[in-house]
Chains A and B, each alone.
Chain A
Amino acid sequence: MNRSITVALAALLAVACGPQYRNAFSYHFADNEEAQLAAILEQLPEASHDDAPENALGQPIAVVTTHSEDDAERQIIALRVDSGEQMWSATVDAATRPEILGDVVLTSTRERIVAFDLQSGRQLWAYELPDLAYVGATRDGDTIYWSATVGALGGARRVGHVVAMDARTGTEKWRHEVQGVFGQPAAQGGLVFVPWERQNIAVLDELTGDEIARLRSTDDVIAWAFDHPTGIYYGGRGIYRLTHRSVTGTRAESTHIRPPLGELPRQPESVWPDGFVPKPGTRSARGRIRVYFNPAPADSPETIHIEGDTYYFAYYRYVFAYDLEGNLRWTRILEQDVVNAEAMPHGLLTFGEQGQMHLLDRDTGNDRWTQDTELQIASVALDAAGFEPGGESGEVRPLRQTLNEMVVDPDNRLVAARAYAIERLASIEEEEITRDLLDLYQQRSMPGALKEAIREALRTRRSGAQYLMEALARRYDYLEDTQAPPLEAIVPALLEMEHTEAVPQLITHMMDHETPARVLPDVVRAVVRLGGEEAVPALRNFLVLYRADSEFQGPVADQEPEEEGGEPVRADPEARALAFAAAGIFEHGGVEGRELLTALSGESARTHEPIASHIQGLYQAEAEAEARRQREEEEAAQRALAEAAAEAEANLPRRLSQEQINATFANNADAVRECVAGELERNPRLNQVRLVFILSSDGQASDLTVAPNSEELVECMRGQVAAIEFPRFRQRRMRANFVVSIRGGVEEVEGGQPAVQPLPEDAPWWAWSQRRAELRGVASAVPADVEPWWTEREPPAEEPEPVLAVETIECPPGLPNCNDPDQAAQNGQQPEQASAQQGQQTAQQGQGQQGQGQQGQQTAQQGQGQQGQQTAQQGQGQQGQQPQQGQETGAQEGQQGQAGGGGTPWWAAAASEEDEEEEEEEEEPRR
């Protein structure tokens, strides 16, 4: 009991006396909730643009910290911007830039946060802050909200504090401590916006500190947030405005702009504001290299406007101004490093390290106003909204001029910005820029890094070639103290411009001993590339003259060390130049050039070995390239063939139709004519010859069976049919048949009228086959003048006419009168189906049944009831039966026979058989 009371009292004490930890920054808190955000937006005040300072005095004020030079203690000083008059000063060793928060000035030392009264400079309170870096503060009403953190730039320990305090007394109202990093908060409308973990903004209630909403960016970094009369802004390299679209958490869907400033000279992150790291209170590059902008009132709460439509970029003493499209508007070199600045409607207010203030005109960069405080400034806070001292904007100076001045500025701390100026200078279209760059390059005091930047910039130029040519015409002259032109900068630029007019001058430099060895390879390469065939004579002279000279002896290419850890062998530039010349001759010199190279690379030519090897390597490389090309061509041809074959294969019929088989036989009538004629001699009563065979996909026939199967006929037919080339088809193989009907025939008609001139009754069988094929659109190549064997032989008088009989099939159980179309319809079948079923015929053609048993019997039974499948069975009497399976198109042929008037066909079509279909289905997957 006693123990319980003790615990309860301890808990009460903890709640009453300790810091009030609130519910916030939980990883379980829902983010990007639309309703929560809507409530927040409702709570925020209307956007306004009171163009006046935010401080309690309502005057443009600067609060600066000074350096501790000459053993003087560091001061914090409040100034009136317009007059430079000091309002007050106090001694404090400020570690961070001061902040003006209403009637309070806040700064921090290494151990604590210190607050001063803005009016008097009296210290209001101090707050101990061990082991934490003060990041920044904001104010709304009477409360100051500040954050401090450890580990914002990395490290094992990551702790963040955000605290609400009474501005005048320093009394803590609430606080949060989390394992994470906080950025400088923003506050407005009773809400506190705390960036944390560079991805979230926690929205806290000002009074309780409870988290009431959270924004999370899913595709961007949130490095800062600040309150502004026009709204709440946050972002990283881009600028977001808090709107209802912020709930999406994406850059594309949020109200967002990204200043199109391109690559600025510095680590990209460090030029943009970063609310997670302390603002430097002493000399630091971080404070001197920064992008400045300010939001401006917008017509719509869904858009972002930038004050003066201008972004400013300060790099120590240099200031660049850009329009909203990122075009450079002006540049300015100041006398002093910019410690801090504030973007204003008409320009940029800068505060220099030696206390000099400028208001740079937005349009020209000229001074609209200056003020010198003569203070040695370490850091400065500005609150000068609405400061409008007047003054003229002056004439805008050409960018070309100001950028040139920047490049030649001797401040070597600023090489990166000078290189940036070179880049921007090169982007100007004026032709004279090319000359400017060339002049800059030739300045002896120009640092190497800038020379490299100029070289690169010249390569981007596409105009002003005449200035390069002027420079190219210059020669080294010891007496006149004239230096050789900077070929290392000129030649690549001419190459990029493809300025072929430079070739004669380049050749002169190639042959000039004053051309430095290090640029000779570039010169020769340019001669080759720009000169082409015209440069070959000069290249020949160059190569021949120096191929054995000691100055040109060395490796033509960099070589890896032979042993691990050894030094790589660098190419000799002059030898490389010879190698380029040889390559140029090889490429453009034609047969003569090749002959020369062959001679120079011979064993007895005394050419330096590296050059000779290089020449031989050219031949080898060409041979390899040729072989590779041929190989690729062959492969391409093979691919094309394969594709064509595949396409042709795809276009092949799945299997041959009976018309195609008939047409093929019609085209090869001569092949079987002899066999049929021979059999007729042996058997004058022969009525028909039936051929059944297997066709493979390549159009070859095999496994032939013949009815009648007399030995002579079979022997004859086997050879002849095997020699026939049938059309190819996709299916691996199929069963096919063909019937040579010896007598009679009925011609097909279309619409009841003969399609063509009717054939005579005694026309030979191939004529009928050809005619049928033609009627079906299948070409036939039977020569018209072939005298048919048929005409030479009178058919036997007793030959019965082949009859196409319609056989009544046996109806299955439960389907009575299936042969009756009307009854079939009543049985639930479609009339067409029923008709087809009934139309499927059972053709019985059997000589055995008709008294021709010795020749064998042929029975074709077609029609399998409801499924319409056909079976052709052929039997042969005494010679045994040969079951015929897989015959196809019986139904079609039967229908055709009906369409033709129900007469007996000259040749009967075969029908496919069910088992062949099954075989095909089994085989398809294997393919």
Chain B
Amino acid sequence: MTRFSELAIVTATVLALSAPALDADAQRRRRQTSENEQAEPAGPQPTVRDVDEIAGRLGSADADEVRAAIDLLSVIDHPSVVPHLAELLRSGRSDEVTDRALQALRGLAHPSAIEVLTEFTHHRRARARRLAYAAIAATDDRRRPALLEQGLRDSDRNVRASAARALGEIGADRSIDTLFLAFDRGVVEAAIAIGKLGNRQHIERFNGYLGNVPLSVMLSGYTEMVRRRDVDDEVKMDIVNRLGEVSGPMVRVFLQRYLDTFPTRGRASRSRLRQNVIDTLRRIPGHAGSARGRVVSSDSAEAAEQSSEDGQ
């Protein structure tokens, strides 16, 4: 076994664990960490000088050797790798090899891969399309939003979900109307993207869906909204109030967790927003602090409430 092969096995393990929707940077960091931790004993890492030699193995009849070569190329992490992977993809390989190459391109995240990735957004196999969109999302290219919007039009639910999440992740705020359209058409993952990208007007528009779409879907969007620093507290309080009107266990858990994100001391602990959350929680039936509450527990909400009172 060559040093490249040993390293490839380690890298393959890392890549296989990578979920398509993961943030590309996080994946890359994880891969590099893994390489640092595990590949070092296997020998020196391949470099750009080894690209041609490794690429030669992509034509091998041995699928394992091809996979190992892909992994090694992805470790090299250099733009010169892209044409080799693109050629490999276009030459028509088994699902496993194709998916591995797409994942490698995602890891490389180089704009020069956008052409072959665009081609693969029309691949007849949905997983290949999904991986292609994920790789596009990871690529720093101005065409990304348009391509990902195209993914929202795909007939496959998973592809649409992947594209919607990716739009939110890349901050494609110009795609917000398309995301709302997708949300109208039942792409629930668009709620997260809207939560990440929407401004005040968009949030108000999103609020209009409350009661019309499943609460869990709405909460996935609200989770992103209340987490954002660029959203005014007034807007967040409006969200909390609306959720308070809906009430119910799910809202209670949501608000409780939201309340947990506030510092318990200092100025922030005395914010109107936090108080609004506490007040809303009190009004939700079944909550320990609510007027009709039956359960007395030492949950964090109560502690926070106590803390808040102490602060006052």
Whether A479 lies near B182 (C-beta < 8 A) is yes
Whether A512 lies near B92 (C-beta < 8 A) is no
- Interface residues in A646-702 by Cβ distance below 8 A to B read none
In the bound complex, how far is the Cα of B123 from the Cα of A546, in angstroms?
9
Whether A479 lies near B124 (C-beta < 8 A) is no
Residues of B within 8 A of A71 (CB): none
In the bound complex, how far is the Cα of B88 from the Cα of A544, in angstroms?
11
Kindly supply a per-residue 1/0 record for chain B positions 168-209, scoring 1 wherever the CB is within 8 Å of any chain A CB and 0 otherwise. Answer: 000000000010011001000000000000000000000000
Whether B125 lies near A476 (C-beta < 8 A) is no
Residues of A within 8 A of B160 (CB): 478
B155 CB–A CB distance under 8 Å: yes
Which one of B93-101, B106-114, B283-291 is at the A interface? B93-101
- Smallest Cβ-Cβ distance to B154: which chain A residue: A478
Kindly supply a per-residue 1/0 record for chain B positions 112-127, scoring 1 wherever the CB is within 8 Å of any chain A CB and 0 otherwise. Answer: 0000000000111110
A574 CB–B CB distance under 8 Å: yes
In the bound complex, how far is the Cα of B155 from the Cα of A478, in angstroms?
6
Whether B122 lies near A606 (C-beta < 8 A) is no
Report the interface size class on chain B.
20 to 34
CB distance from B130 to the nearest CB of A (A): 12
B152 CB–A CB distance under 8 Å: yes
In the bound complex, how far is the Cα of B152 from the Cα of A551, in angstroms?
22
Partner of A545, one of B90, B153, B181: B90
Whether A546 lies near B124 (C-beta < 8 A) is yes
Residues of B within 8 A of A476 (CB): 153, 155
Whether A478 lies near B122 (C-beta < 8 A) is no
Whether A514 lies near B155 (C-beta < 8 A) is yes
Whether A604 lies near B95 (C-beta < 8 A) is no
Interface centre among A512, A545, A604, A606 (most CB of B within 10 A): A545
Residues of B within 8 A of A512 (CB): 122
Whether B122 lies near A513 (C-beta < 8 A) is yes
Residues of A within 8 A of B63 (CB): 606
With A545-B92, A547-B92, A549-B98: A574-B124 Cβ-Cβ less than 8 Å: yes
A511 CB–B CB distance under 8 Å: yes
Whether A550 lies near B95 (C-beta < 8 A) is yes
Whether B152 lies near A606 (C-beta < 8 A) is no
Report the interface size class on chain A.
20 to 34
Partner of A544, one of B90, B95, B124, B152: B90
Residues of B within 8 A of A481 (CB): 185
A395 CB–B CB distance under 8 Å: no
CB distance from B134 to the nearest CB of A (A): 16
Kindly supply a per-residue 1/0 record for chain A positions 532-565, scoring 1 wherever the CB is within 8 Å of any chain B CB and 0 otherwise. Answer: 0000000001011111111110000000000000
In the bound complex, how far is the Cα of B178 from the Cα of A480, in angstroms?
10
In the bound complex, how far is the Cα of B126 from the Cα of A549, in angstroms?
12
Residues of A within 8 A of B178 (CB): 479
- Interface residues in A467-508 by Cβ distance below 8 A to B read 476-481
In the bound complex, how far is the Cα of B132 from the Cα of A565, in angstroms?
45
B91 CB–A CB distance under 8 Å: yes
- Smallest Cβ-Cβ distance to A480: which chain B residue: B153
Whether B153 lies near A546 (C-beta < 8 A) is no
Interface centre among A477, A513, A546, A549 (most CB of B within 10 A): A513
CB distance from B148 to the nearest CB of A (A): 13
- Smallest Cβ-Cβ distance to B60: which chain A residue: A604
In the bound complex, how far is the Cα of B124 from the Cα of A574, in angstroms?
10
In the bound complex, how far is the Cα of B124 from the Cα of A541, in angstroms?
13
Whether A478 lies near B90 (C-beta < 8 A) is no
Whether A548 lies near B153 (C-beta < 8 A) is no
With A478-B155, A479-B185: A548-B124 Cβ-Cβ less than 8 Å: no
- Smallest Cβ-Cβ distance to A600: which chain B residue: B92
Residues of A within 8 A of B295 (CB): none
Whether B125 lies near A548 (C-beta < 8 A) is no
In the bound complex, how far is the Cα of B92 from the Cα of A544, in angstroms?
5
With A513-B122, A513-B129, A549-B124: A479-B94 Cβ-Cβ less than 8 Å: no
Whether A511 lies near B155 (C-beta < 8 A) is no
Whether A549 lies near B122 (C-beta < 8 A) is no
Partner of A513, one of B92, B98, B123, B182: B123
Whether B92 lies near A548 (C-beta < 8 A) is yes
In the bound complex, how far is the Cα of B91 from the Cα of A551, in angstroms?
16
Residues of B within 8 A of A479 (CB): 152-153, 178, 181-182, 185
Whether A544 lies near B91 (C-beta < 8 A) is yes
CB distance from B30 to the nearest CB of A (A): 29
In the bound complex, how far is the Cα of B13 from the Cα of A719, in angstroms?
98
In the bound complex, how far is the Cα of B123 from the Cα of A574, in angstroms?
13
B17 CB–A CB distance under 8 Å: no
Query: 25 A-B pairs, CB-CB below 8 angstroms?
Result: A476-B153, A476-B155, A478-B153, A478-B160, A478-B185, A479-B178, A513-B122, A513-B125, A513-B126, A513-B129, A513-B154, A544-B91, A544-B92, A545-B90, A545-B123, A547-B92, A548-B93, A548-B94, A549-B94, A549-B95, A549-B125, A550-B94, A550-B95, A606-B61, A606-B94
20 more A-B residue pairs beyond the given contacts A478-B154, A546-B92, with a C-beta to C-beta distance below 8 A: A476-B155, A478-B155, A478-B160, A480-B153, A512-B122, A513-B123, A513-B125, A513-B155, A517-B124, A545-B90, A547-B92, A548-B93, A548-B94, A549-B95, A550-B94, A550-B125, A551-B125, A604-B61, A606-B63, A606-B93
Contacts from A to B (Cβ < 8 Å): 476-481, 511-514, 517, 541, 543-552, 574, 604, 606
Closest 6 CB pairs of A and B: A604-B61, A544-B92, A513-B124, A545-B92, A477-B153, A550-B95
